Chain A
Amino acid sequence: MFPVRSDEPRYTRIPDVPHPEANRYGRSIETVPEGHALRGASLNINGDAGVGGNPNRYKQHGFYFNADNCIACHACESACSEKNDMPPHLAFRSVGYVEGGTYPDFRRVNISMACNHCDNPVCLKGCPTRAYTKFAEYGAVLQDPDICFGCGYCTWVCPYNAPQLDPVKGQVSKCNMCVDRLEVGLKPACASACLAGALDFGIIETTPENREQLETRIPGFPTPEITQPNVRFQQTRSLPSEMGRTDVMPIKYVKQDDGSYRSELSKAEKARHWNLAKLRSREDPLVIFTLVTQAVVGAFLALFLGGLLGVEALQPERHPVAHALFLVALLGVETFALALSTLHLGKPHRFYRAFNNLRYSPVSREVAGVAVFYNALGAYTVFTVLPGLFGWLPAAWVQNTGLLFGGAACVAGPAAIWFMHRIYRIPARPFWNHWQVLASFFGSVLSLGAIVVALVFGSLSGDAVLLRGLAAMAVAGLVLEAAGLYCHARDLRAGVGEAQAAHHLQITVYGEAYLARNLLLGAGVLLALGTPWLGLPGWWALALVWLPASAIGRALFYVLVIPTTMPGAFFWRNRGFQEHARATGLAEMPQVGVVPDAH
């Protein structure tokens, strides 16, 4: 057990106070009832089999933050980092701020934030490896770095920036609620360290001594509706009607009629830039993985279904060698894409854990979908290309089994793309949380699939039926993509601040690239419509126009997202400063707290 000192001050003890039966979301504050199987077990902290004596062990606990009082002294963050032995570039708890007013009528509101051990732990649901557990003990949501394979999906879905992806170790870790301290009745290290009467801790829905509010919102804090976080606030002092951020995110918080603050775009910068170099990101492998997988699924659908529909050029026996090579090539590029997506993990050797959370995680489902598609495609290829292997079976069996696998791939492929799109429908990432993702992913399936098949089989046969069919498919894909983008831009402009801000980045910081992609998309539609007249050169032109445009578009998709996450400070947790430190070499000094780029 955590050693309690003889002179432990009173303020470090968690008060044993009465609390309501259920929290404001209707959930019982008691995590499991008396006699439940989860009761009485040891937390096994560092191999200690003891069971803590905290009388409120099975009650949901949470942090309490008094925004009136925080002075940004960093004691909470530091006590946390000291206790958890954190390197400078990571922190389970961080303090950022919003500020507003005009000198001397100026207010800065500092916000200290860590994990909120939510009632609806989206991290737990999203994690494909099931590295997360919500414990009946204190309602703590804990993450096990030994299970994690470093995909970072939890860092995408969490609205509070709680899970920390360590690019050095390639794994996530996060606030552990100091459950070792809780077991002996002590508040977490951060709350015990607070020097301003700002951060506190206790059973959720209880108001600490000398405090008067139990709010769930303060300016700068994302909507509690996404996760039902176990954090409560006090913020009684009047604030200016606009509170701005100091970090690079172009977001401000504007007071609404009901007194709450809503995020809005804060900058009116007009200049358009290319910033092509900035399109490179940690998610580069995903740009390739998603596009390749969509192209492969599309190409296979065209090939297989076209063949079934009797398109002459697509019959295996029509171009036996090319057909075989084509299938093998599809398998080959998909293998490459899968390898890339695996290497994108912090711990690629744990890739097999991706399937562990089929019940909740869209990542697991996507991986499963792609795996089924890939295997079915592989089996179909074997049966189609090497029927001789199965010479000992009746020929019809071989053919039908092949067809069965082809059919399976036709179902699994689109299903995989559906789940792939589900990955990005994250409430904390408004830029992604739009049907445009679906339109884009299936748009790519259609357009890229059509182009690939047209370039190969069109060249071989010049089959007009085939090319017309493929042209229809490409046009459908491109129009779908364009419709998605149009509605996306329209809805972003009308959306929350993070959506507006992402769109603003899209038309300014990356404005030229965005414009180029849109023009290329328009050109692509025209070319696709014109292919029946332009013939093969038309398809080559379409490929030349649309492949780079797709890459730019997908790269934009990853770099533009602005999470509804906590405001940063001027240096710490400021994406702008992090990029600057990497670009100028400041990051090479480890004490700057920014890890230099790996690539």
Chain B
Amino acid sequence: MLFGRAKKNPIKIADKGVVEWKYTTCGYCSTGCSIEVGVNEDGVAVSSRGIGGAHVNQGKLCLKGIFEHELFKSSGRGSHPMVRAKRFLPWHAVSWDEALDKVSGEIKRIQSTYGRDAFAIVSTGQIMTEEFYTLGKLARGVIGTNNYDGNTTLCMSSAVSGYKRSFGSDGPPGCYDDFSHTECLMAFGSNLPEQHPVIYWRLKTALEQRKFPVIVVDPRVTMFAQMADVHLAIQPGTDVVLLNAMAHVILKEGLHDQAYIDAHCSDFETFRALVEQYDPDTAAPICGIDADTIRNVARTYAKAGAAMSIWTMGINQSTHGSDGVVGINNLNLITGNIGKPGGTSLSITGQSNAMGTREWSSASGLPGYRALEKEKDREEIAKYWNIDPEFLPKKRGLFQTDIFPAIETGQIKGLWIVATNPMTSMANTSRIRKILEKLDFLVVQDAYQDVETTQYADVYLPAAIWAEKEGCFTNTERRVNLTRNAQTPYAESKPDLWIFTQLAKRFEQAKNMKWPEKAEGVFDELRELSKGRFLDYSGMSYDKIEQNRGIQWPCNAETAPDGSPRLYVDGVFNHEDGRAKLIPLPFVDNNERPDGEFPFWLNTGRVVEHFHTRTRTGKIGNLNKFSPTPYMEINPDAGARLGIRHGEYVRVTSRRGDAVVMAQFTQRVPPNMVFIPFHFHDCVNRLTLGLLDPHSRQPAYKQSACRVERIEEQSAAARRNHDARAF
């Protein structure tokens, strides 16, 4: 054998000089991976690694987690609070006192002039649970606006709504461990390998140990679709029809679990009457797949000893989002697949703490899954917070997607945006621009000053990011996990918790309330407020969470000291009668469909290397390099007909606006559909329509119509694309 040199130099391998590993939970998606952040002897974060003994990820991380330590030094971070007199004037840095005085002053001015609800707050799914709770206390208990919501309306609102309608409460009933028990898995509009690669790994590992059928419903041939045993490439927006038809087959062929239905469900007969109309032959032409496939899938699912469904934005982001979730719940209820190992309706959540905001932020109600509509809940919270119960509204106010139209028509004059970027994330960007222009006052609180929404802000508050703070996230499977402080906040940025409490102090009403300075102090309030409730936190503490690598609620000292993997194990649901509702789902197609003028379906979605509006991942080269600029998947046959070429820039136009993207020819998409990732600013959301779901008010990002045009002047297109990319 040839060895080369006999006399060898010592081998050099990069050594980052980690002296200590700090316990954290990933701040990107809601898989909830446990990460250790390595700091060197100067205290600088230099490395990240998955925690070997963590339930969720067992040492694995996706690429975003692998580079998460690079967030702390990423470009575009806000260093000082900034204020400007007019939006066309330059920013100037001010002290925190000055900035917060300005914000509280404007809130008071707007509220006293136009009414309490004229100031709106839109928050996020990214900050810690303790921060959400404190923001809720401030919004509901001090500022007292009812127009307070989170950007979770853009991602999880349909799941929340569907869970509430079916089971009487929010809260995903299953867990990742169900992969190891299920005998059939059906994924609706969920592309795990791209969106939740670590959950995919859990699934793949379970499949390698014990094979079971995997059915993927997705109009694109995603990697997940490719790996599936059955791929149902249905027409966009027709999931409800498919679900009704599956229920039809199951009931018709007597494959349902009558005993479970009798014991635990209500309204079976009205449900049966409705699905009677959806025989597979009726459904097939609507869904664009054949009737026998529908029958086969329905039988496979119903005959499995335990079967589970997962779904993500393919269901949620639709005009039938909430109905889609209910349809999945219906499927699992009639087959007795709720609350048992391997049988569940598991919504795969988007943001790291979408669950935390659902549970504790008071955005859609009151903390701990309490409702504004319930007098008892209002009184409990008012007493705990030491405020007058009458200060709380008796009905939920506007959703995020209704707050913007209310600004458009002048009911709302001031807006506080926390860690979200509607300038890139909301459908129909040009409308959002016009809306933001109309505001009397906009304050943006974000870790990044270059977040595009600051273009319209009067005040910018620089927030600390992820492990510059301390606190908890709840993941998709209700696992509460901890992030310890690993870095001091960048420059003058401050933890969101600090910003909320300091702002609260500027209001009279807050003076008689408790505002714990430390996250752990806030966590004690969560434990007290949840004791004995559905989402019981009372058995948790920071140290115990870290020790257990996360704990799934409910967790209490008496019955579940180490948490609970599943909900509704006893078949008792949270509706008044303790039963789950089987809800009939009539289908009306109200989507903008392709036509002669706009012949393509416009589909949107995520890519694995980016998160949301790229404010973080667009700055980390080792992530961003995999898709540094916007592109569009288009079928080569369609491309050839249009005279465009692979790798060229093309113009995509809808009834809302246009976008320039690079064409990527692939048979992954059908000839009448294009797919554009949603992460890029001034791109696909200039085109999307975003019709709203009637229950969840979630926008349908994935169903609208567009046209594709060739661009003669490629260099001009390249320039336009380049100029639209600040990062």
Residues in chain B near residue A81, CB distance under 8 A: 622
Residues in chain B near residue A87, CB distance under 8 A: 621
Asked if B10 and A45 sit within 8 Å, CB to CB, the answer is yes
A243 CB to closest chain B CB, in angstroms? 11
B14 CB contact (under 8 Å) in A9, A11, A83, A246: A83
B360-403: which residues lie under 8 A (CB-CB) from chain A?
Answer: none
A43 CB to closest chain B CB, in angstroms? 5
Residues in chain A near residue B727, CB distance under 8 A: 589, 591
| CA distance in complex: A81, B715 (Å) | 33
Given A196-B200, A591-B621, A46:B11 Cβ within 8 A = yes
Nearest to A576 among chain B residues (CB) is B647
B565-606: which residues lie under 8 A (CB-CB) from chain A?
Answer: none
B626 CB contact (under 8 Å) in A85, A197, A571: A571
A130 CB contact (under 8 Å) in B4, B47, B204: B4
Residues in chain B near residue A84, CB distance under 8 A: 13-14
Asked if A196 and B1 sit within 8 Å, CB to CB, the answer is no
| CA distance in complex: A73, B201 (Å) | 11
B62 CB contact (under 8 Å) in A12, A75, A89: A75
B97-129: which residues lie under 8 A (CB-CB) from chain A?
Answer: none
- Tell yes or no: A171 within 8 A of B by CB: no
Residues in chain B near residue A591, CB distance under 8 A: 618-621, 624-625, 628, 727
Residues in chain B near residue A28, CB distance under 8 A: 1
Residues in chain A near residue B668, CB distance under 8 A: 99, 103, 106, 108
B667 CB to closest chain A CB, in angstroms? 4
Asked if B647 and A176 sit within 8 Å, CB to CB, the answer is no
| CA distance in complex: A15, B1 (Å) | 25
- Tell yes or no: A500 within 8 A of B by CB: no
| CA distance in complex: A130, B669 (Å) | 49
Residues in chain B near residue A248, CB distance under 8 A: 647
Binary A-proximity of B1-24 (CB < 8 A = 1, otherwise 0): 111110011111111100000000
A10-62: which residues lie under 8 A (CB-CB) from chain B?
Answer: 11-12, 27-28, 31-32, 38, 43-47
A552-599: which residues lie under 8 A (CB-CB) from chain B?
Answer: 569-572, 576-577, 580-581, 583-586, 589-594
B208 CB contact (under 8 Å) in A136, A195, A197, A586: A197
Asked if B201 and A99 sit within 8 Å, CB to CB, the answer is no
Asked if A210 and B629 sit within 8 Å, CB to CB, the answer is no
Nearest to A356 among chain B residues (CB) is B5
Asked if A571 and B628 sit within 8 Å, CB to CB, the answer is yes
A5 CB contact (under 8 Å) in B47, B52, B619: B52
- Tell yes or no: A180 within 8 A of B by CB: yes
| CA distance in complex: A532, B226 (Å) | 71
Given A75-B66, A103-B635, A103-B667, A146:B9 Cβ within 8 A = yes
Binary A-proximity of B644-677 (CB < 8 A = 1, otherwise 0): 0011000000000000000011111111000000
Nearest to B59 among chain A residues (CB) is A9
Asked if B208 and A88 sit within 8 Å, CB to CB, the answer is no
- Tell yes or no: B63 within 8 A of A by CB: yes
A54 CB to closest chain B CB, in angstroms? 15
Given A73-B608, A78-B66, A179-B11, A85:B664 Cβ within 8 A = no
Asked if A104 and B666 sit within 8 Å, CB to CB, the answer is no
A585 CB contact (under 8 Å) in B197, B200, B664, B722: B722
| CA distance in complex: A54, B469 (Å) | 41
Residues in chain A near residue B66, CB distance under 8 A: 75, 78-79, 82, 193
Given A99-B667, A210-B208, A572:B52 Cβ within 8 A = no
| CA distance in complex: A120, B719 (Å) | 47
Asked if B226 and A107 sit within 8 Å, CB to CB, the answer is yes
| CA distance in complex: A192, B200 (Å) | 16
Nearest to B207 among chain A residues (CB) is A197
Majority secondary structure of chain B interface residues (helix, strand, loop or mixed): loop
Asked if B718 and A592 sit within 8 Å, CB to CB, the answer is no
Q: How large is the interface on B (under 10, 10 to 19, 20 to 34, 35 or more residues)?
A: 35 or more
B87 CB to closest chain A CB, in angstroms? 26
Q: How large is the interface on A (under 10, 10 to 19, 20 to 34, 35 or more residues)?
A: 35 or more
Residues in chain B near residue A192, CB distance under 8 A: 59
- Tell yes or no: B231 within 8 A of A by CB: yes
Asked if B67 and A82 sit within 8 Å, CB to CB, the answer is yes
- Tell yes or no: A8 within 8 A of B by CB: yes
A69 CB to closest chain B CB, in angstroms? 7
Residues in chain A near residue B52, CB distance under 8 A: 5-9, 12
B667 CB contact (under 8 Å) in A73, A106, A110: A106
| CA distance in complex: A203, B579 (Å) | 57
Residues in chain B near residue A110, CB distance under 8 A: 223
A73 CB contact (under 8 Å) in B63, B221, B233, B719: B63
A155-200: which residues lie under 8 A (CB-CB) from chain B?
Answer: 176, 178-180, 192-193, 195-197
Given A195-B201, A570-B631, A31:B10 Cβ within 8 A = no
Nearest to B627 among chain A residues (CB) is A571
B201 CB contact (under 8 Å) in A72, A106, A196: A196
| 13 CB < 8 A contacts A-B | A71-B227, A78-B66, A79-B61, A82-B622, A87-B621, A104-B231, A120-B2, A133-B4, A146-B9, A146-B12, A576-B647, A589-B628, A589-B725
Known: A124-B2, A583-B718, A584-B719. 13 other contacts (CB 8 A): A9-B58, A28-B1, A72-B193, A73-B63, A73-B197, A104-B225, A104-B231, A125-B2, A144-B12, A197-B205, A248-B647, A571-B629, A593-B628
Q: Measuring CB to CB, which residues of chain B are less than 8 angstroms from any residue of chain A? A: 1-5, 8-16, 47-48, 51-53, 58-63, 66-67, 193-194, 197-198, 200-201, 204-205, 208, 221, 223-227, 231, 233, 608-609, 618-629, 631, 635, 646-647, 664-671, 715, 718-719, 721-722, 725, 727
Q: Measuring CB to CB, which residues of chain A are less than 8 angstroms from any residue of chain B? A: 5-9, 11-12, 27-28, 31-32, 38, 43-47, 69, 71-75, 77-79, 81-89, 99-104, 106-108, 110, 119-121, 124-125, 130, 132-136, 139, 142, 144-147, 176, 178-180, 192-193, 195-197, 210, 246, 248, 569-572, 576-577, 580-581, 583-586, 589-594
